[in-house]
Structure 1
Amino acid sequence: MGELQDRELIFVFTGPDGSGRKTVADSVGTTFGIPKVVSYATRKPRSGEIDGQDYHFISAEQYAEMEGRDEFIESVALHNCRYGLRRDDIEHSFQQDGCIYLIVNPEGAEILKQLYGHHVIRIFIYADRATVAEREERQGLSQELIQDHLSHYAAAMAYQSACEHAFENYDLAHTVFDITNTLEAYLQRNLVERD
């Protein structure tokens, strides 16, 4: 792992499943033109998910081979599926772009913080349990999966106090606006307002 420069930052979006962290993260990333490092997953794509954009969807066998080669900087098992971030993807993105963002669960966020220290800015996205359940129902997730996610809700919420920033996500535009204002200080782009 190479030494990171001061301006090389990893914006890590985390929080409970169903909080909207992916939608918020992608909107913020697009606003700033920051590339996303995409995780690998052994599950099938859900409705609307695109391979290479939401996750790299691979087989359990491919995942095991990559893990055997120690390619993952972070690897977790959730809901009978494996999710991982490749070390090379992060390193390559830093060389190309300097700043990146990614979307991981609290366990992944903590691993990245331990590895990269002050270069990691954790952005915790949350909503109340009822809102989370309602969003996941609208996404067409099974009741079994929704209940499984909700069983981890309290543990995920407990990670909020460890994060550098937390945002309640009930209105997407408002949440994205607040986060972009917050991240501007880290990026120090010296933008000038024009009339």
Structure 2
Amino acid sequence: MYNLKEKEMIFVFTGPDGSGRKTVAKLIRNTLHMKGVISYTTRERRHYETEGQDYHYVSREEFMAAKDNGEFLECVEIDGNFYGIKEKDVEETFKNKGCIYLVLNPEGSDIVKKLYGDKVVRLFVYADRDTVKARQEERGDAPDIVAQHLAHYDEDMEYRQQCEHAFENYKLDHTAFEITNTIEHYLKLKAEQKKAEKQ
């Protein structure tokens, strides 16, 4: 397991599929110049997704070989597909930045939180069921995929109570602004701690 250094932090964007967690993360990344670590998955790429930006799409055989080799910091199986973050990707990203972000489902978020405790801040992004359903339909998800996601909605929403922060995402720019302020607060605290240690 990669050991986080004193100054290093992980911000995890989580919440139900269709809540906008990935879109919000990308907006904040550009504002704060944060670096994200992209998950690997065995599921098929959707028409609106881009390799290396949304996920690294690999075969089940490739994923399982990496898993057996102990390459994943966290990995989960959802609806027959595997998802995981590689430890070396986290380590490489931390070489240039003191904080990184991940976009994970609640199960993956929980694993990372248990690994790193207070160094992980979970940012739960959500919307009501009808809004989530409409967003998935608008982006062109097939009806069976939408139904599959909605089957997890209530369980995913329960995870909100365990997260450090929760944001209702109805207006994207407003949500991004709120989360940016929250992250900046943590970064400011870290900077102040570092300054105090030097005095």
Q: TM-score range by the shorter chain?
A: over 0.9
Give the distance between the partners of 1:138 and 1:162, measured in 2 at CA: 30
1:6 aligns with 2:6: yes
Cα shift at 1:6: 3.2
Aligned length: 190
Contact kept? 2:19, 2:127, Cα under 8 Å: yes
Cα shift at 1:168: 0.2
Cross-structure match for 2:72: 72
Cα shift at 1:2: 4.6
Where structure 2 has 5 or more consecutive residues not aligned to the other structure, the ranges are 193-199
Give the distance between the partners of 1:148 and 1:4, measured in 2 at CA: 35
Contact kept? 2:48, 2:139, Cα under 8 Å: no
1:167 aligns with 2:177: no
Contact kept? 1:7, 1:187, Cα under 8 Å: no
RMSD: 1.3
Alpha carbons of structure 1 residues 65 and 180: separation in structure 2 relative to 1, 3 Å: same
Cα shift at 1:30: 1.4
Give the distance between the partners of 1:166 and 1:114, measured in 2 at CA: 19
Cross-structure match for 2:195: none
Write the letter of the residue equivalent to 1:187.
Answer: L
Segments ≥4 residues shifted beyond 6 Å: none
1:155 aligns with 2:134: no
Give the distance between the partners of 2:3 and 2:37, measured in 1 at CA: 18
Where structure 1 has 5 or more consecutive residues not aligned to the other structure, the ranges are 191-195
Write the letter of the residue equivalent to 1:25.
Answer: A
Give the distance between the partners of 2:161 and 2:149, measured in 1 at CA: 20
Give the distance between the partners of 1:148 and 1:180, measured in 2 at CA: 31
Cα shift at 1:68: 1.2
Give the distance between the partners of 1:65 and 1:86, measured in 2 at CA: 12
Cα shift at 1:21: 0.4
Cross-structure match for 1:121: 121
Contact kept? 2:10, 2:120, Cα under 8 Å: yes
TM-score by length of 2: 0.92
CA deviation string 1:71-123 (max 9, x = no partner): 11111111221111111111221222121001000000000000011110000
